[in-house]
Amino acid sequence: MKAFMDQDFLLSTDTAKKLFHEYAENMPILDYHCHINPREIAEDRKFDNITQVWLGGDHYKWRQMRSNGVDEYYITGGASDREKFQKWAETLEKAIGNPLYHWSHLELKRYFGYEGYLNGDTAEEVWNLCNAKLHEADMSVRNIIRRSSVTLICTTDDPIDSLEWHKAIKEDDSFEVQVLPAWRPDKAMNLEVPTYLEYLDKLSKVSGIQVKSFADLKEALKSRMDFFASMGCCVSDHALEYIMYAPASEEEIEAIFAKRLAGEAITKEEGLKFRTAYMLFVGTEYHKRGWVMQIHYGCKRDNNTGMFAKLGPDTGYDCINNYAPSAQTADFLNALNEMDAMPKTILYSLNPNDNAAIGSILGCFQDSAAIGKIQQGSAWWFNDHKAGMTEQMVSLANLGLLSNFVGMLTDSRSFLSYTRHEYFRRILCELIGGWVENGEYPADYKALEKIIKGISYNNAVRYFGFQLDCK
């Protein structure tokens, strides 16, 4: 029996161990999509206790605590941080087979030096150990990033954001890690949201362009793209329920937009037409600017309306959407391609059943402009576990070139989540090592080193065009 999470955790063959320990383990981390707060980096925040790091905003953990019958008082309510940590510890010991069990213990090992396992009985010991460590100088936010060998971070930022914290970080010579904004313009697209007109007012003020038409909206967004670009932005991200291609004339889109400005409700069909026009516009702009377009789709959000009313979005009440029409996705990309306006694009679906569809779509739009110009994103959210990551990479290998894959991202709000890259790399090396051991790929370690280091780090550096050294 193997020891729990030893140095060869998830590595079952000699080849897998060699690939991980010699090639993957010490590669830097490029976190090209996350949800961490740049203010906390600018101010070099220090956390008072492990609950602040682990449970503040982590809806992955909240879902499991609810599944364990924990009262909301101990999850998002007024319980003390110590009480919340105890309830999480009592839940974690039941999380056999769940990636949270692995992630949590990797974080305890790598950042706190804890070699045991967390449960209700050990909670006090772990609480005291972690809190003592968190008060040491090398556990400030910036030092956590340094200890994790992170070279660059892309946050997630709305077009109306002032980016003041990015500016402060950029001007601070004492911190060597690049922290760049990433453009997330969903609020400018979501016509049906009750606060949409209020958002347009804010966009009008920060852009200096009064938005009274769709043409005005495009000009305002272009102005803000210019500002984001001046701050180093070259990456966008979109959250869509699904990708639908519903073309309409410019006059029809203007009429739909005018209807919404007048305070009238729009139909579902009108909303789809507007989204199509909006996405074609931003995609064209990304192509002009050399930005990467990331599209996350296949999520049905805020399903528990009662809890949404109490807690708001991103609190653990989202699920996989089973409706993700691949034909419309292909039509959308083709429309950009016909306009000679196809940006580098990464597609993520929350539905693992879409792996093969995405893999087949990629091959329709690759070209010589960039190696792996159209990418399938890493297994996302409900899929970023051992089985989900393996399935995504096997599907990508079957239908495309896994070797050109841009690899892992944290997609997290926690500064301790960089161990997810280690988790991913171990799974990657186990997969490829198994193919070598089975005679499905030669033991050509020159080629294998390039593949492993590429997927771990180097491919992303080249793909996004970041000014970093590929080692």
User: DSSP string of 219-250?
Assistant: HHHHHHHHHHHHTT--EEEEEESS-------H
Q: Are 58 and 420 in contact (CB under 8 A)?
A: no
- H helices then E strands: how many in the chain? 20, 9
Average pLDDT over residues 191-205: 97
Question: Tens digits of per-residue pLDDT, 121-132?
Answer: 999 999 999 999
Strand partners, 236: 183, 293
Nearest to 228 by CA among 152, 176, 295, 155: 155
End-to-end CA distance of the chain: 36
Give the tokens for residue 395.
Answer: 């599907």
- The Cα 242–Cα 240 span in angstroms is 5
pLDDT band with cut points at 50, 70 and 90 for residue 369: confident
Strand partners, 344: 292
Residue-level pLDDT at 400: 96
**φ/ψ of residue 209, rounded to 5:** -120, 115
Question: Tens digits of per-residue pLDDT, 379-394?
Answer: 999 999 999 999 999 9
| Statement: residue 471 has pLDDT above 80 | no
- The Cα 68–Cα 234 span in angstroms is 42
- The Cα 273–Cα 267 span in angstroms is 10
Residue-level pLDDT at 470: 42
Strand partners, 295: 238, 347
| Statement: residue 324 has pLDDT above 80 | no
Above pLDDT 90, what percent of the chain?
95
Give the tokens for residue 26.
Answer: 């010490």
